[in-house]
Structure 1
């Protein structure tokens, strides 16, 4: 893939694709397999840059991880089997690797250092550093642990009940993973809204008891993970780009196979239904601890809506492409309660508004979201950029399918972070 692509309007999109494995689940499968005793086999693992950063970090801690086509095998030796890395643990662009690994390393019996790329260096780590320090963790870093690089000296931890100010699966997961390393004590995380629950589901698959209620999750220290086999469903955050494409490109019909429909992640499906999309969800027999479905989307007549509150954690990564969707809906779409967008790979509020404005969208930023007025003809005829953010890059590529004039997409390589075969699939569907 070249770094600058010229992308043009298409007449229709039709066909069947299977999106890559879920990024969040792929990360966790490697981490939990490394923490477990025995051999874990992971099918449909996402071979994106972020997930390969997780593999690299755990290999540096002495874990044998074999990668074949579509299959990853992790030889776990338990938490005690992790070794002090002789090198710095480079997480690349992966916030998930950084934050979840902090929870694992906080209770390890060695010293480690974490570093990432320029984007990671700007992302807030104190939201994890703070609760881990409450558990007794010894973490140093730039601006008192607010930013990478981070140095962690593993130590004995104590259980806590943490009231998280944000609904963040990464914060929740880091604290729960640290909690497993306490001496038979309970650790609970309570959130303002329930965040995605892949960690809770997968820990159970690895034999760990996790108790949950509406907004809290609790684990007891001293539990051991037992190796298991994991099938990674298709990533609904990746599917979202083709769901939006199918809805807004004329004369289109796309079938997406084996997509994960975890109820903490299905906000994009809720929004499509709220906006009147022609969509069918066909549940499949579960191959794993996560629910899976085939999803059929057709060209749709859409109407504006308001997206806020409890729905936001279920679609936070999909907001860039939802903004594009809203440009093709009649009336006003308001997205609010989404200030978390400011601390993603880019400030996604400013980036989405800036890039979509370049190609003719009527969109304005607010303190915690954006307001989009449709239905708007997108002009194209502009140079746009992903700004190094994979989801911005894919959103702009889908936008090019309906712009009057071609667009020039800069920094397109960022898309490989989560969807290496994105342009191949787009080409496959183009008629």
Structure 2
């Protein structure tokens, strides 16, 4: 476990947003399900992306790294046969919830046993929505106690009627949307409760369409999926990641001017709303047609933030709220409790250690802003990349140093975060190394 000491300093300059992890997962899965070789370019590698590539190999899909058209990025030539098979008996999903939930239905097309394993909080993240489907279809599976990983699936999904709750995770919906078009018969997927994170379903539908898969839906609550479809590959560029850009746009609001490049102005990513939320709080965000977004330093005020369609940007927006004038309420954020950690509890605990006034609610947070800034102190990243990066941004408004233990967890999604933080003017010092928990 790595402990970093950050001496407060205002960040400023320009930084290129990593490629979208959400779209990266989807692009390489669709490419792998295609018949032939596809090129997926502009990938920012991370532990989560490595997990999805491992799963592709377990499903009989091969890939090799090829030169990227973007400096510092990765491209892969991904070769598939248009179907999946259990080329391995087990696959390690790391700590990636997207990987696990996207791949389970594909593993259930193989007709042979495939075991999914994981680490950290992923072992206990809920999968009951899939178990209910397997039970209804009589598909054989085994799990550890309480439905935890490892999960072994052995059988073949059948086409027909499917039901899923919409208020647990949209990843279950996406997982079935990847798999069901490969069945011979037609299927209908109906969402049985309020749908959260609709934007992530939009990302899946847009990626499927790019690769030749047609799915019709009725207001996102009923999906009509024709069977016998085939994925058609090609060459694709992964767009920039708005959830990672959020850290720099908040940092620019709290420090000096920061321009975040490489973003898609018409992106379907739900986290794109971060620019509007910062503006609504009084921040100054400008943009151009090339996808360059600039945050200028500005005083901000408290507002109500609805987290239903943008859960990943809530931790760093909590930092901004902690030093904004007035009170901010974050609502519809209950799903943050089942991420890599309980993010509502984590941000409450760690920001309050720095001198903030955050109150944890059952479904959100209440933050009384302290525009004078925070004091600093020792905090823990809770083995969660978004907590670590948010606490780093919080150091910009502290009077004393912020010491973050477990800082290495940024490897999950943004391995270059600390490098970019330092390049923008951050003062970082490694003060401890030890074994992780």
Alignment of 1:386-397 (within 5 A): 386-397=381-392
Unaligned runs of 5+ in 1: 285-292
Q: Which residue of 2 aligns with 1:42?
A: 40
Q: Which residue of 1 aligns with 2:287?
A: 281
Deviation, structure 1 residue 3: 0.8
Deviation, structure 1 residue 141: 1.3
Decide whether the 8 Å contact of 1:276 with 1:301 is kept in 2: yes
State yes or no: 1:267 paired with 2:267.
Answer: no
Q: Which residue of the other structure, out of 104, 107, 113, is the alignment partner of 1:105?
A: 107
Change (3 A) 1:314 1:281: farther
Q: Which residue of the other structure, out of 365, 373, 395, is the alignment partner of 2:360?
A: 365
Could you tell which deviates more after superposition, 169-178 or 332-341?
A: 169-178
Q: Which residue of 1 aligns with 2:8?
A: 9
Q: Which residue of 2 aligns with 1:341?
A: 336
1:195-252 superposed Cα distances (whole Å, 9 cap, x missing partner):
4121111100110112234333432222110112221111111111111111112xx1
Alignment of 1:231-310 (within 5 A): 231-249=237-255, 252-260=256-264, 261-262=267-268, 264-284=270-290, 293-308=291-306
Q: Which residue of 1 aligns with 2:56?
A: 58
State yes or no: 1:219 paired with 2:225.
Answer: yes
Structure with the bigger RCO (C-alpha within 8 Å, sep 6+) is 2
1:248-294 superposed Cα distances (whole Å, 9 cap, x missing partner):
12xx111111224325332322321221210123344xxxxxxxx32
Change (3 A) 1:94 1:409: same
Q: Which residue of 2 aligns with 1:24?
A: 22
1:70-90 superposed Cα distances (whole Å, 9 cap, x missing partner):
2111011111xx332334200
TM-score with structure 1 setting the length: 0.90
Return the alpha-carbon distance in structure 1 between the equivalents of residues 87 and 124 of structure 2: 24
Return the alpha-carbon distance in structure 2 between the equivalents of residues 333 and 163 of structure 1: 33
Decide whether the 8 Å contact of 1:378 with 1:403 is kept in 2: yes
Decide whether the 8 Å contact of 1:256 with 1:294 is kept in 2: yes
Please give the root-mean-square deviation of Cα atoms over the aligned residues, in Å: 2.0
Deviation, structure 1 residue 28: 1.5
Q: Which residue of 1 aligns with 2:431?
A: none
Q: Which residue of 2 aligns with 1:321?
A: 316
Q: Which residue of the other structure, out of 403, 411, 418, is the alignment partner of 1:416?
A: 411
Alignment of 1:103-142 (within 5 A): 103-131=105-133, 133-134=135-136, 137-142=139-144
TM-score with structure 2 setting the length: 0.89
Decide whether the 8 Å contact of 2:178 with 2:208 is kept in 1: no
Deviation, structure 1 residue 371: 0.4
* Aligned pairs, number: 413
Q: Which residue of 2 aligns with 1:73?
A: 77
Task: Determine helix, strand or coil for the equivalent of 2:95.
Answer: coil
Return the alpha-carbon distance in structure 1 between the equivalents of residues 35 and 375 of structure 2: 54
Return the alpha-carbon distance in structure 2 between the equivalents of residues 416 and 263 of structure 1: 22
Return the alpha-carbon distance in structure 2 between the equivalents of residues 195 and 136 of structure 1: 32
Unaligned runs of 5+ in 2: 69-73, 427-437
1:119-148 superposed Cα distances (whole Å, 9 cap, x missing partner):
11121111333245445543321346x321
Return the alpha-carbon distance in structure 2 between the equivalents of residues 122 and 155 of structure 1: 24
Q: Which residue of the other structure, out of 199, 204, 213, is the alignment partner of 1:199?
A: 204
Decide whether the 8 Å contact of 2:60 with 2:80 is kept in 1: no
Decide whether the 8 Å contact of 1:390 with 1:418 is kept in 2: yes
